[in-house]
Structure 1
Amino acid sequence: MRNRPHRSLLCDVMVLGLAKALMTMRKGERARVLVQPEYAFGKMGCAPRIPGNATILYEVELLHFVDAEDALELEGICVDGGPMPFPKLLELCAAKHKTGNSFCERKEFQNALKCYSSALHRLENARTKDAGEETKQQQLLLKLFCNASLCCVHTGRGSMAVAYAKKALLIDPNNVKALYRCGVGLKMQGCFDEAEGRLRRAHRLDPNSQAIIRELNELNSIKRQLRETETNMCRRMFNYANNDKAAEAMKALSLNSGVSEEMQAIIKESLRKLKGGTAGSSLPFTTGFTDSHYDYVRSVCQNLGLGCEDLPKGGVRAFVRDAE
Structure 2
Amino acid sequence: MDKPFCTNCTKKLPRLMKLGEDITLRGLEIGVLTMKKGEVARFIFSPNYAYGQQGCLPLIPPNATVLFEVELIDFLDSADSDTFFALTAEQQDAFPLQKVLKVADVEREFGNYLFRKQCFEGAKDRYKRAYSILGRSPSSEAELCQIDASKLPVLLNLSITYLKLECPARALMYGEKALEIDKRNVKALFRCGQACLCMTEYEKARDFLIRAQHIEPFNHDINNELKKLASCYKDYLDKEKKMCCRMLATLNSSS
Cα distance in 2 for residues equivalent to 1:209 and 1:179: 13
Whether the 8 Å contact between 1:86 and 1:126 is mirrored in structure 2 is no
**Residue among 96, 101, 104 paired with 1:90:** 101
Shift in CA distance, 4/29, structure 1 to aligned 2, threshold 3 Å: closer
Cα distance in 1 for residues equivalent to 2:63 and 2:245: 81
Cα distance in 2 for residues equivalent to 1:47 and 1:101: 35
- Corresponding position of 1:71: 81
Whether the 8 Å contact between 2:4 and 2:73 is mirrored in structure 1 is no
Cα distance in 1 for residues equivalent to 2:37 and 2:113: 12
**Residue among 193, 200, 203 paired with 2:210:** 200
1:148 aligns with 2:158: yes
Structure 1 residue 239, shift from structure 2 partner: 3.0
- Corresponding position of 2:125: 114
Structure 1 residue 207, shift from structure 2 partner: 2.1
Cα distance in 1 for residues equivalent to 2:37 and 2:162: 27
- Corresponding position of 1:33: 43
Structure 1 residue 34, shift from structure 2 partner: 2.0
Shift in CA distance, 35/143, structure 1 to aligned 2, threshold 3 Å: same
Cα distance in 2 for residues equivalent to 1:67 and 1:162: 32
Structure 1 residue 218, shift from structure 2 partner: 0.8
Q: Aligned letter for 2:245?
A: R
Cα distance in 2 for residues equivalent to 1:63 and 1:27: 6
Q: Which has the larger radius of gyration?
A: 1
Shift in CA distance, 74/63, structure 1 to aligned 2, threshold 3 Å: farther
Structure 1 residue 165, shift from structure 2 partner: 0.5
Work out which structure has the larger RCO, using CA pairs closer than 8 Å and 6 or more positions apart in sequence.
2
Structure 1 residue 232, shift from structure 2 partner: 1.9
What's the TM-score, normalizing by structure 1?
0.60
Cα distance in 2 for residues equivalent to 1:187 and 1:172: 22
Q: Percent identity?
A: 31
Q: CA RMSD in A?
A: 3.8
Q: Which runs of 5+ in 2 are unaligned?
A: 15-23
Cα distance in 1 for residues equivalent to 2:217 and 2:62: 68
Q: Which runs of 5+ in 1 are unaligned?
A: 242-269, 271-280, 284-324
- Corresponding position of 1:298: none
Structure 1 residue 24, shift from structure 2 partner: 3.6
* Count of residues paired in the alignment: 238
Whether the 8 Å contact between 1:32 and 1:59 is mirrored in structure 2 is yes
**Which structure 2 residues correspond to residues 1-324 of structure 1 after superposition, within 5 A?**
10=11, 15-25=25-35, 33-37=43-47, 39=49, 45-46=52-53, 54-58=64-68, 65-75=75-85, 77=87, 83-104=94-115, 106=116, 108=118, 110=120, 111-123=122-134, 125-240=135-250
Cα distance in 2 for residues equivalent to 1:97 and 1:4: 19
Q: Aligned letter for 2:11?
A: L
- Corresponding position of 2:19: none
Cα distance in 2 for residues equivalent to 1:17 and 1:86: 38
Shift in CA distance, 203/35, structure 1 to aligned 2, threshold 3 Å: same
SS of aligned partner of 1:127: coil
Whether the 8 Å contact between 1:109 and 1:155 is mirrored in structure 2 is no
SS of aligned partner of 1:33: strand
Whether the 8 Å contact between 2:77 and 2:106 is mirrored in structure 1 is no
